[in-house]
Amino acid sequence: QSALTQPPSASGSPGQSVTISCTGTSSDVGGYNYVSWYQQHPGKAPKLMIYEVSKRPSGVPDRFSGSKSGNTASLTVSGLQAEDEADYYCSSYAGSNNLHVVFGGGTKLTVL
Amino acid sequence: QVQLQESGPGLVKPSETLSLTCAVSGYSISSGYYWGWIRQPPGKGLEWIGSIYHSGSTYYNPSLKSRVTISVDTSKNQFSLKLSSVTAADTAVYYCASLRVTTSSIDYWGQGTLVTVSS
């Protein structure tokens, strides 16, 4: 059982927007603005897409955006493209006295 | 650019100890990251195993803490994972990674190495 809850799947047509949720608790997502999102294509290592809730690393398209409300964080992919089809994982810092890093179970994004 | 490369046996027998090393290049391991291990069983999600700072401070996943040891060798710019008493449930792709100290976001990942536990 994953510490953070994500929907197992999400889908959208090219050009559309899709939002993936990530629900935790006040001990992780709700307690810190340290939520990250990772994209993983089959057979590849995950890639950081969003950090500190809404910041994008250099090179990540601005079609990817993040937000948070309470204990739930969200990743929005706008203007869906075929190459966005992948698994997406959220993670959160959970405090130095507890689980340092917690992951969500992952969401398979399908571009229809 | 930080580069990480895992190495170690791809097959481990049940009840034995899994040992992996992560070589870091392009960055001094004594600088400002935590260094960690994450695993992914086939077809499943990511699980954080533990992290270490160059000073030797460690954080372990409570569910694995009794079996995990992570160590760092600053002279070789590498860090290592030992997981004892392995079972088939420990079969996974093991990734080494760099984690930001304040936020635990994972900036850089190794390519991953599949470790199979089987007799």
Average pLDDT over residues B7-30: 97
pLDDT bin (cut points 50, 70, 90) of residue A97 is: low
Token pair belonging to B76 = 């070789």
What pLDDT was estimated at residue B102?
82
| Residues A38, A105: Cα–Cα separation, whole Å | 12
- The tens digit of pLDDT for each residue in A33-60 reads 999 999 999 999 999 999 999 999 999 9
Q: Take residue A1 and report the two structure tokens written for it.
A: 């059982």
The per-residue pLDDT for B99 is 92
Tell me the nearest-neighbour CA distance from A25 into chain B, angstroms: 17
Judge: B46–A47 Cβ closer than 8 Å, yes or no: no
pLDDT at B101: 83
Interface probe, candidates A52, A53, A101, A102, chain B, greatest B C-beta count within 10 A? A101
pLDDT in tens, B1-13: 899 999 999 999 9
Model confidence at B104, pLDDT cuts 50, 70, 90, reads confident
Taking contacts as CB-CB distances below 8 angstroms, the residues of chain A near B112 are 45
Task: In whole angstroms, give the CA distance from residue A110 to residue B58.
Answer: 38
Interface of A with B (CB under 8 A): 2, 32, 34, 36, 38, 45-48, 51-52, 57, 89, 91-93, 96, 98-106
**Structure-block tokens of residue B51:** 């992290």
Q: What is the pLDDT of residue B1?
A: 87
Q: Which residues of A touch B62 (CB under 8 A)?
A: 98-99
Q: How many other CB atoms are found less than 10 A from the CB of residue B44?
A: 13
pLDDT in tens, A59-95: 999 999 999 999 999 999 999 999 999 999 999 998 8
Chain A residue with Cα closest to B4? A45
Burial class (CB in 10 A: 0-12, 13-18, 19+), A97: exposed
**Please, how many CA atoms are within 13 Å of residue A58, restricted to the half-sphere of its CB?**
2
At B5, which amino acid appears? Q
Could you give phi then psi for residue A73, rounded to 5 degrees? -105, 160
B109: nearest CB among A45, A51, A106: A45
pLDDT at A2: 60
Q: pLDDT for B37-51, tens place per residue?
A: 999 999 999 999 999
Closest Cα of chain A to B27: distance in Å? 18
User: Is pLDDT of A28 > 60?
Assistant: yes
Contact B103 A101 (CB under 8 A): no
Beta carbons of B47 and B40 less than 8 angstroms apart: yes
SS3 at position B90: helix
User: Is B79 in contact with B35 (CB distance < 8 Å)?
Assistant: yes
Interchain pair B46, A34: CB under 8 A: no
Q: List the single best residue of A35, A100, A103, A107 to mutate versus B (max B Cβ within 10 A).
A: A100
A79 secondary structure, DSSP code: S
Give the model's confidence band at A4: pLDDT under 50 very low, under 70 low, under 90 confident, else very high: very high
